[in-house]
Structure 1
Amino acid sequence: MMFKKISLAFVSLLALAMVLAGCGSLGGGADADPEEISMLTGGTGGTYYPLGGEIATIMSDNTEKTVSAQASGASVENMQTLQDGEADLAFTQTDIASYAVDGKLMFEDSATDNVQAIGTLYPETIQIVVLKDSDIESVEDLKGKRVSIGDVGSGTAENAKQILEIHGLTLDDIKVENLAFDESTELMQDGDIDAAFITSGAPTGAVEGLSAQKPVRIVPVAADKAKELSDKYPFYAEDTIPAGTYGLEEDVETVAVLAMLVARADLSEDAVYNLTKAFFDNVDGVKHAKGKLISPEKALDGVGIDLHPGAEKYFKEEGLK
């Protein structure tokens, strides 16, 4: 009888230990330091997935961790998955990260408190596209025009509202169309809309397709308005669309949200420091076209949420604020 009691107690303790070990493997706790790191990216046809694969390889080669990139539904889904402790690192956009942390818009019922920033990567440019012969020269000229602001509930739609706001306009001042990028450019080509907001890395395929049929322009966001915008919404950064893009005759000043790498807040400081250092010290190993836009010097632009202490340690050591 005594042996049975001891055996049952041992089995119970063993089962408890296995449960606790399982919880640790999900990354729970205030100082999680898993050997295998999962990185959420985006769809296989986008930029996040191939770029994430390269970043994961660089991190694996320069730390004792094994980092694996995984396809996902991108920014919004990634923030929720990190919040749930089901992954370690992720790509997201700076504006989506801010909405998640602040519990706004699509995160109104699910605010995030377990995600912090590692650093921004490259701009997702806000492009206000019009045909070259359009009479729309400024954001203010959009008043009364038929304008696509992106899909309902999209980040692009929020970008449009915020940019209009800084210029003294609201959605009531324009004739709103909620269209995907391809639909926007198709209707513009047919003369059915006057302008379209498109938030995407430039050049964007839909806009390139339109420019191959009809000459286009990008409506600028002036520097003073860009500063006013970033002062109110710190996830924005100034950006420039270079001459030659879409056949543009000169550079166009605008703004961008940024693609950003984030981490679970409960990953240990040492783990995130080592991963951050491994990537940014070896960023020249990125062969993807976006790699030339990534640098530690730009990685704090437009972050908009708290840095993870491990990332903060790295940037302080590099003399960056």
Structure 2
Amino acid sequence: MNKKVVALVLCVFMFAALATGCGESKKFVNIATGGTTGTYFPLGGALADIWNKNIKGMNATAQSTGASVANVNLLRDGKVEVIFVQNDIAYYAANGTESFKDKKYEEIRGFATLYPENIQIVTRADKGINTLADLKGKKIAVGAAGSGTEANARQILEAAGITYNDITVQYLSFGEAANNLKDGNIDAAFVTAGYPTAAISDIAAQHKIVLIPVDDATADKLIQKYPFYAKDTIPANTYKDQTTEVKGVAVMAMLAVSSKMDEKTAYSLIKTMYENQERLKAAHAKGALIKPETGKKGMGIKLHPGAEKFFNEQKK
């Protein structure tokens, strides 16, 4: 009888040990992206797919969110492990400025910068808006309240001598802005995302669009005050019937994590991401720009040690 009891106890302990071992080997990684019509969402889905297929015990999922600012707060609250974020918003968070004034988040760490995110200012051709000055007195979608796009819109308008008092502000996501512009309920929208952006392509499929340029003088004034911006252009034929290139400005899309993520996990995630670029390219054209050699370009915050280890290896 005693032998049976001992055997039973041993079985229970062995089962518990196995269960514990399985729990420890499973890695859950939640990825905060952005709206479903932006660029973050498809790339986030591709990242989850890459990590699940190539890292043993990985359980990665991508979720649609309110993008940059919302993502930083999700990371701070421990609800996600990896976030897509604009480099300007990451800088604000790390330094406690702008949308993060009095809400400094010192534990945010850079993972990798990905590609330029152009601030695209779109309107319909029948609205008669061709310059930033023409936006005065109009209904303008500036992005979701507190989003990175909203900060970009406010700063660009400021550089152009326009305040929110000069326009009727509409706080709308990319998808909401696209629908309202198609229906004629608003006059123009700011969209910060890698081109081509699904929301703008959606408008262009139904209406002739105009991309409003940011002239050199305005761009210079903007960059002088906010050095994380860079001049960039949207090539001709990016969208239907857009026959000329459009001058503008851009920030960098990047990935960020918490300093609490262990170095081994971070290293494994970043190494696997760069080893599977074809999957990123298949998800979105911007995937072709996600390369190790540009992974620290525009990085305005501290790098996570796991990412730093990976980039140091690339120099050898």
User: Structure 1 length normalisation: TM-score?
Assistant: 0.72
**1:166 aligned residue:** 159
1:216 to 204, 209, 234: 209
Q: Which residue of 1 aligns with 2:147?
A: 154
Within a 5 Å distance, the mapping from 1:86-101 to structure 2 comes to 86-101=79-94
**After superposition, what is the alpha-carbon deviation per residue over 1:268-315, rounded to whole angstroms, capped at 9, x for unaligned?**
445433432332243234331242232223333443322223323433
Instruction: Specify the alignment match of 1:52 in structure 2.
Output: 44
Please give the secondary structure, in 2, of the residue aligned with 1:54.
helix
For residues 27 and 62 of structure 2, what CA distance do their matches in structure 1 show?
A: 13
CA contact under 8 A between 2:213 and 2:248: conserved in structure 1? yes
1:101-180 mapped onto 2 (5 Å cutoff): 101-132=94-125, 135-180=128-173
* % identical aligned pairs: 42
Q: Which residue of 2 aligns with 1:278?
A: 272
Counting only pairs closer than 5 Å after superposition, residues 8-23 of structure 1 correspond to structure 2 as: none
* Cα pair distance change 1:208/1:53, threshold 3 Å: closer
- Tell me if the contact between 2:110 and 2:257 (Cα under 8 Å) persists in the aligned partners: yes
Instruction: Name the SS of the counterpart of 1:55 in structure 2.
Output: helix
Q: Secondary structure at the match of 1:303?
A: coil
1:299 aligns with 2:273: no
- The 1:163–1:44 alpha-carbon spacing in structure 2 relative to 1, beyond 3 Å, is closer
Distance in 1 of aligned mates of 2:309 and 2:223: 25
2:283 to 284, 288, 298: 288
Moved more, 156-165 or 266-275: 266-275
Deviations 1:148-173 (CA, angstroms, capped at 9, x unpaired): 32343333222111112223332234
**Contact 2:119–2:191 under 8 Å retained in 1:** yes
- Aligned partners of 2:28 and 2:59 also within 8 Å: yes
| TM-score after normalising by structure 2 | 0.73
Q: Distance in 2 between matches of 1:126 and 1:317?
A: 33
Whole-Å separation in 1 of the counterparts to 2:184 and 2:121: 16
Report the Cα distance in structure 2 between the residues aligned to 1:227 and 1:258, rounded to whole angstroms: 18
Aligned partners of 1:182 and 1:81: how far apart in 2? 21
2:233 maps to which of 237, 240, 246: 240
SS at match of 1:90: strand
Q: Which moved more, 1:61-70 or 1:158-167?
A: 61-70
The verdict on how the C-alpha distance between 1:217 and 1:298 changes in structure 2, with shifts beyond 3 A counting, is farther
Give structure 1 stretches of 5+ with no counterpart.
Answer: 1-20, 26-33
Are residue 78 (structure 1) and residue 74 (structure 2) matched? Answer: no
CA RMSD for the aligned pairs? 3.6
Residues 1:38 and 1:230: Cα distance change in structure 2 (over 3 Å)? farther
Which of 250, 260, 264 is matched with 1:266 structurally? 260
- Measure, in 2, the Cα distance between the counterparts of 1:78 and 1:189: 28
Q: Distance in 2 between matches of 1:131 and 1:167?
A: 21
Asked whether the equivalents of residues 101 and 113 of structure 1 are also in contact (C-alpha less than 8 Å), the reply is: yes
The amino acid that maps onto 2:155 is Q
Three-state SS of the structure 1 residue aligned to 2:271 is: helix
CA contact (8 A) 2:34 2:40 kept: yes
| Inter-partner Cα distance in structure 2 for 1:145 and 1:71 | 33
Structure 2 residue identity aligned to 1:263 = V
Q: In the alignment, what sits opposite 1:257?
A: 251
Q: Is the 8 A contact 1:59 1:278 kept in 2?
A: yes
Amino acid at match of 2:209: V
Secondary structure, in 3 states, of the residue corresponding to 1:214? coil
> Following the alignment from structure 2 to structure 1, what is the Cα–Cα distance between the partners of residues 208 and 85?
32
Deviations 1:123-182 (A, max 9, x none): 443211133355543323434444332343333222111112223332234343444545
Asked if 2 retains the 8 angstrom alpha-carbon contact of 1:116 and 1:262, the reply is yes
CA shift in 2, pair 1:193/1:56, >3 Å: closer
Q: Return the offset for 1:216.
A: 1.4
Aligned partner of residue 294 in structure 2, secondary structure: coil
1:9-39 Cα offsets, whole Å, 9 max, x none, are: xxxxxxxxxxxx9xxx8xxxxxxxx872513
Report the CA distance between 1:52 and its aligned residue.
Answer: 2.8
Give the Cα–Cα distance (whole angstroms) in 1 for the partners of residues 26 and 305 of structure 2: 19
**Aligned match of 1:309:** 305
